Structure 1
Amino acid sequence: MTTRGGAGPSFRVWAVPGLPEVREGDDLAKLIAAAEPGLADGDVVLVTSKIVSKAEGRLVAADDREAAIDAETVRVVARRGTLRIVENRQGLVMAAAGVDASNTPAGTVLLLPVDPDASARAVRQGLREALGVDVGVLVTDTFGRPWRAGLTDVAIGASGVRVLDDLRGGVDAYGNPLSATVVATADELAAAGDLVKGKAAGLPVAVVRGLGHVVGGGLGADAGSGSGSGSGVDADGAGGDSGARALVRDSRDDMFRLGTSEAVREAVALRRTVREFTDEEVDPGAVRRAVAAAVTAPAPHHTTPWRFVLVESAAARLELLDAMRDAWIADLRRDGKSPEAIARRVRRGDVLRNAPYLVVPCLVMDGSHTYGDARRDTAEREMFVVAAGAGVQNFLVALAGERLGSAWVSSTMFCRGVVRDVLGLPGSWDPMGAVAVGHPAGAAPARGERDVGGFVVVR
């Protein structure tokens, strides 16, 4: 038994001895009630997920643990060698999807409960029926943590426990406003229970007493279903019976959703041509970070052949686009195009007009070599053009990583003189298209799969 406190608030936590080996079909609530008949209102019962899984028949045959992990994985977050951090079917991000091959017969693995919140509700209801007490129940499992060595228990299922304590809107001891403080109460309780359960002591259940203020919430059929998202904190701050699902950070707010290589691959996959943007302003800092990524591209002769003109002023964008439109119309008239055909083609440039931010990447040939014959001089320029393209691709991918949409349009390449005049650029700068940048107005359509074999020749 562990006691924390003194003159101020205190609580007790102890492990429950005497539980038998749990098998499929066992009633966990009855087993816990028999081993700890002195449970009282306001206690929090901490149940290791392993015995919940055993009782629920989650022991499955799996000669290949990796195959079992594959089956439980929704998304790979990070991979290093054989170690995988994944998001599993329960929405939890953890090593190996929570698949456990320890303390199980050879050729079997133990999977996490299908719905840990429902499991917690069932145990809580069973304890109420067996002992007439109103307790909170947490189903716990062992997690590693980013940036921290070692393991600790966290709550993966909850019923009757305020899993989050939202202190936002209050003040600290010095009167300073609290604007971002939401305490993961359920995880703190799980870790406290782990101190007395231990990892190898054969004590899968613990009880915390003295923190009755975190216990409450109904046992209705819809309570704590875990199907919602958000903070899980009720308007009164109590948290109700929201379940442990409320502890899982929404992907929109998760700054560390991917490992390094996975983030690169996702940014590349997110790189799409976006033609419709919202009115939301673009963060100039995000564009500059994308430029910083762009200029890491390879280039010949240790040169830096990229320049990025950031057209941030609405007046400058309008002047540039009007001048480009006039030059384009003049070209089309010389080609003998009809007014209708000219109007259709000019409309293709609307993506640049509709974007709140415009970037003009330019190629500079500083540091290039002159050989004196057409073949080698042409190859020299092509090397620089390829380097410029690599820089533009880096830029587009980095914008996707910043959750910004973009569209690369080649139009400035057809009126370079006009672009240089309007933007006041040196004559040695060659505009290599324009990039419309903004926040996408909608989700991108699904991209069709491309067979890599169709783009590969092996010799």
Structure 2
Amino acid sequence: MPDSMSMSRLMGLPDYQAGDDLAQSIIDTLSTQNQSLQQGDILVIAHKVVSKTEGACVYLSDVTPSNDAIELAKTVNKDPRKVEVILSQSNRIVRAMKRPDQQEGVLIAEHKKGYICANAAVDESNADQPDQLILLPEDPDKSATVLCQRLEAHFQCELGVVISDTFGRPWRLGQTNVAIGLANVPGVMSMLGEVDAFGRPLSVTAPAFADELAAASGLLMEKSAKSPVILFRGLNWPKTQSSSRDLIRSHNEDLFR
């Protein structure tokens, strides 16, 4: 790895609606600011702008809760319509919990894509309407690939794209950004066979490269700052056909299932 890199916000991006061309918007914004993308640049993009442009949103006024949603909503004091949407995005509910000091509890769910996260990543923050819920993109890896190909074609260089979301973490407080969609960027980089600073061989070291990028992007990607695209420059990384599933532990390796 190099001794240094740069990380910067792409400012001046608009609010997005369904059908907007996100790739062209990024190109136009860079052009307006007399900027360009270079060989090896990586863009980390907040999933919400991807979801909005792809129309991955639900309006509560259009949702009729099932009996299961109504009963589960009582456990966590949530709107049954929101619970219905969460169930529609989930393989299973891992845990439903509401502490006495909470007005509204949380549903820890296994999302259809395999992520374990709060409320199956169904969220209201940065939604355009009071009753709008934003979902994850239908296929985040495909979304990342399409964006990457468009940007590469325009700037005539090899790039990487990571789509991120904000997750909580078991046994630790606070949230951090994680990678949910990848194009060209490795999810995990194996260091098997390399040596540490003292010459000892590494046997299990495998940095979650895409998650590290996503987490770092959170330092600049403020929800209130309208800065959903973060540019990383100066990193050495191997281009690879990757998938966000590379970061999900398989069921037979899950010690807590």
Coarse TM-score class (shorter-chain normalised): 0.7 to 0.9
Structure 2 SS opposite 1:245? helix
1:313-362 residue CA offsets vs partner (Å, 9 max, x unmatched): xxxxxxxxxxxxxxxxxxxxxxxxxxxxxxxxxxxxxxxxxxxxxxxxxx
2:15 equivalent in structure 1 = 21
CA contact (8 A) 1:92 1:248 kept: yes
Residue number among 48, 64, 67 corresponding to 1:50 in the alignment: 48
Residue of structure 2 in register with 1:214 after alignment: 237
Structure-1 residue corresponding to 2:110: 87
Q: Give yes or no for contact 2:9–2:230 (8 Å, CA) kept in 1.
A: yes
RMSD over aligned Cα atoms: 1.5
**TM-superposition CA deviations, 1:369-394 (whole Å, max 9, x none):** xxxxxxxxxxxxxxxxxxxxxxxxxx
What pairs up with 1:310-459 in 2 under 5 angstroms?
none
Give the secondary-structure state (helix, strand or coil) at the position aligned to 2:109. Answer: strand
Give the secondary-structure state (helix, strand or coil) at the position aligned to 2:219. helix
Amino acid aligned to 1:169: G
Partner of residue 99, structure 1: 122
Q: Which 10-residue stretch deviates more, 168-177 or 110-119?
A: 168-177
Q: CA deviation at 1:141?
A: 0.3
| Aligned match of 1:9 | 3
The residue that corresponds to 2:24 in the other structure is 30
User: Does the 8 A contact of 1:41 with 1:134 survive in 2?
Assistant: yes
Is the CA contact (8 Å cut-off) linking 1:49 and 1:139 kept in structure 2? yes
Partner of 1:196: 220
Matched-pair contact (CA < 8 Å) for 1:163–1:186: yes
Residue in structure 2 matched with residue 72 of structure 1 by the alignment: 89
Code of the aligned partner of 1:198: E
CA distance in 1, matches of 2:161, 2:140: 11
Deviations 1:264-299 (A, max 9, x none): xxxxxxxxxxxxxxxxxxxxxxxxxxxxxxxxxxxx
1:242 to partner: Cα distance: 1.5
**Secondary structure of the equivalent of 1:214?**
coil
- 2:190 paired with 1:166: yes
Partner Cα separation in structure 1 for residue 113 and residue 84 of structure 2: 18
**Once the two structures are superposed, what CA deviation does each residue of 1:115-167 show, in whole Å capped at 9, x if it has no partner?**
10000001001101222222100000001111111111010000011221101
- Is the 8 Å Cα contact of residues 90 and 109 (structure 2) preserved in structure 1? yes
1:132 matches 2:132: no
Q: Give distance in 1, aligned partners of 2:156 and 2:29.
A: 15
Kindly state the Cα deviation for residue 191 of structure 1 after the two structures are TM-superposed. Answer: 1.2
Give the Cα separation in 2 of the matches to 1:129 and 1:174.
44
Q: Does 1:61 align with 2:59?
A: yes
2:55 match: secondary structure:
coil
Mapped partners of 1:189, 1:206: distance in 2:
10
Whether the aligned pair in 2 keeps the contact of 1:117 and 1:245 (CA below 8 Å) is: no
CA distance in 2, matches of 1:101, 1:42: 34
Query: Per-residue displacement from partner, 1:150-194 (whole Å, max 9, x unpaired)?
Result: 111010000011221101222211122211111100011111111
Query: Distance between the aligned counterparts of 2:94 and 2:108, measured in 1?
Result: 5
| Contact 1:75 1:87 (8 Å CA) reproduced | yes
Shift of 1:77: 1.8
Secondary structure of the equivalent of 1:78?
A: strand
Please name the residue that 1:109 is paired with: 133
Code of the aligned partner of 2:18: E
CA contact (8 A) 1:44 1:215 kept: no
Q: TM-score, normalised by structure 2?
A: 0.84
Amino acid at match of 1:75: R
Between the aligned residues of both structures, percent identity stands at: 40
* Aligned residue type for 1:76: I
Contact 1:30–1:130 under 8 Å retained in 2: no
Kindly report which structure 2 residues correspond to 1:261-276, keeping only aligned pairs within 5 A, or say none. none
One-letter code of the match for 2:197? Answer: A
Structure 2 counterpart of 1:329: none
Distance across 1 between alignment mates of 2:182 and 2:223: 21
Letter of the structure 2 residue corresponding to residue 195 of structure 1? L
Structure 1 distance, partners of 2:15, 2:51, is: 12
Number of residues paired by the alignment? 227
- Unmatched 5+ stretches in structure 1: 217-239, 258-459
TM-score by length of 1: 0.48
Q: Tell me, what secondary structure is at the counterpart of 2:175? A: strand
| Alignment correspondent of 2:145 | 121
Give, in angstroms, the shift of residue 215 of structure 1.
4.8
Larger Rg: 1
Separation (CA, whole Å) in 1 of partners of 2:93 and 2:196: 39
Displacement of 1:109 in angstroms is 0.7
CA distance in structure 1 between the aligned counterparts of 2:201 and 2:256, rounded to whole angstroms: 27
After superposition, give the CA deviation of every residue in 1:234-289 in whole Å (9 maximum; x if it has no partner).
Answer: xxxxxx212211101111111133xxxxxxxxxxxxxxxxxxxxxxxxxxxxxxxx
**How far apart in 2 are the matches of 1:199 and 1:168?**
37
**Which structure dedicates a bigger proportion of its chain to helix?**
1
